Amino acid sequence: MAERQLVPKDIFYFIPNLIGYGRVVSAIVSFSLMDHHPIYFTTLYSISCLLDACDGYAARKYHQSSKFGAVLDMVTDRCTTTSLLCYLCKLYPGFTIVFQLLVSLDLASHYMHMYATLQSGGDSHKNVDKNSSWLLNLYYTNKNVLFTACLFNELFFLALYLINFDSFPQIFGINFGVVLAWITLPLWAFKQFTNVVQLNRAAVLLAKIDCDVANKKVQKDE
């Protein structure tokens, strides 16, 4: 008996996508707790971020990778981080412009990277050739590097949030958030540098595509 053909509705019920919905729900609930419940917020926000690793594992294990799932994953990443940065603007009004620039860099680099990859004929934004960028190849193909960089990036922003609360015990008399911020700072900086490299590579790829199109048009006109 032939297997039933998939229909679009089936994709929405893939296991990794169900995990993705769980990420969205836990993130939304965590946002409602930011003002007065830092422990609950941190717990739920962390769960949302950690589930990011689970959906990829489920996609590989059950052979349920999908373009919808890839976009859902990236969009959720961008939305959760941006939402936290919006709150940091409230906690640190003097650094609002810094957080705005970080949000802009994050959104621009990932959007342009995905668009440039698709325009270049790639089937996934994580497929980056070493000759194109050894750093992005390492970042996207080495799961340990990708997971650690993203984790420390989120932990750094969480640390900036936690500095304003005394819900966690101090470490050698120092606010827990301050200690966490210093620990995560180097890899947070690496993540921002990677975003810059990603943005530059995407811009160059798109410019090359434009040149190819323009040159073919000139040759055709000749």
Binned average pLDDT, 10 residues per bin, the chain of 222 residues: 80 95 96 94 94 88 90 93 96 97 96 88 74 85 89 96 90 92 97 95 93 87 70
User: What is residue 216's predicted lDDT score, i.e. its pLDDT?
Assistant: 87
Task: Find the catalytic residue in 52, 73, 77, 106.
Answer: 77
| CA-atom Rg of the chain in angstroms | 20
Cα 46 to chain centroid distance, Å, stands at 14
| 8 A C-beta contact, residue 184 and residue 155 | yes
Q: Which residues pair with 171 in a beta bridge?
A: 174
Q: Residue 43: which H helix or E strand, with range?
A: helix 38-61
| 8 A C-beta contact, residue 26 and residue 51 | yes
CA–CA gap between residue 204 and residue 222 (Å, rounded): 27
The candidate with the shortest Cα–Cα distance to 65, out of 148, 145, 123, is 123
- The reply to whether CATH 1.20.120 applies to domain 8-215 is yes
**Domain residue ranges in the chain:** 8-215
Q: Is 35 a catalytic residue?
A: no
The number of C-alpha atoms within 13 Å of 148 and in the hemisphere containing its C-beta is 13
User: What is residue 140's predicted lDDT score, i.e. its pLDDT?
Assistant: 87
User: What is residue 2's predicted lDDT score, i.e. its pLDDT?
Assistant: 58
What's the burial of 136, exposed, middle or buried (CB within 10 Å: 0-12/13-18/19+)? buried
Overall pTM surpassing 0.75 (yes/no): yes
User: What is residue 75's predicted lDDT score, i.e. its pLDDT?
Assistant: 93
